[in-house]
Copies of this chain bind each other. A is one copy, B any other.
Amino acid sequence: MTEKKDKTTIILFSGDLDKAMAAFIIANGAAAYDHEVTIFFTFWGLNVLRKEESVPVKKGFLEKMFGWMMPKGAEKLGLSKMNMGGLGPKMIKHVMKKHNAMPLPQLIEMAKEQGVRLVACTMTMDLLGIKKEELMDGVELGGVAAYLGDATEGKVNLFI
């Protein structure tokens, strides 16, 4: 007989480095406290999951434009404040290194190892023209129904 675990769900709507870091720090913390954790990536949040390299997929013109303009993956994200044309993220990464804080790609790896589920929103993937092959491995696909199923049982539900 297994006890039912607490659930935590996070919708990551933002594609900003600072907000993505906050999401993964909370997710990893909750997983360490034995919560079942799911992060739902929607809109700009999908950029966190994109592979750095170009993946050859067929796209329409606007989808290509979106793909070209949006950052590709955790290393390329900007800050929600004080981005200063990319100087802000450099400064943050520098102080994180100095303080031995985990950078975002490592936070993502840790989340996967701890069994945090990463779910990409199929509806916004369609809109922004992002294909599954362009996302990192280990990502599930899901919609608003999957989110609500989890969140209704969640103790902690955040929109970031």
Interface residue ranges, A against B (CB under 8 Å) = 6, 11, 13, 15, 18-19, 22, 25-26, 29-30, 33, 35, 42-44, 60, 62-63, 65-66, 69-70, 80-82, 91-92, 94-96, 98-99, 101, 123, 126-129, 144-145, 147-148, 151-160
Report B-chain residues with C-beta under 8 Å of the C-beta of A155: 151-154
A18 and B66 alpha carbons, distance in the complex (Å): 14
A18 & B43 in contact (Cβ 8 Å cutoff): yes
Contact of A99 among B22, B65, B126 (CB under 8 A): B126
For residue A86, give the distance in angstroms from its CB to the closest CB of chain B: 15
Nearest CB to that of A143 among chain B residues? B29
Task: Say what secondary structure dominates the interface of chain A.
Answer: helix
For residue A34, give the distance in angstroms from its CB to the closest CB of chain B: 11
Count copies of this chain in the complex.
Answer: 3
Nearest CB to that of A69 among chain B residues? B82
A91 and B144 alpha carbons, distance in the complex (Å): 23
Contact of A156 among B44, B80, B157 (CB under 8 A): B157
Report B-chain residues with C-beta under 8 Å of the C-beta of A70: 82
A29 & B95 in contact (Cβ 8 Å cutoff): no
A13 and B159 alpha carbons, distance in the complex (Å): 12
Decide: A81 near B25, CB < 8 A? Known: A62-B95, A148-B156. no
B159 & A98 in contact (Cβ 8 Å cutoff): no
Report B-chain residues with C-beta under 8 Å of the C-beta of A91: 62, 65-66
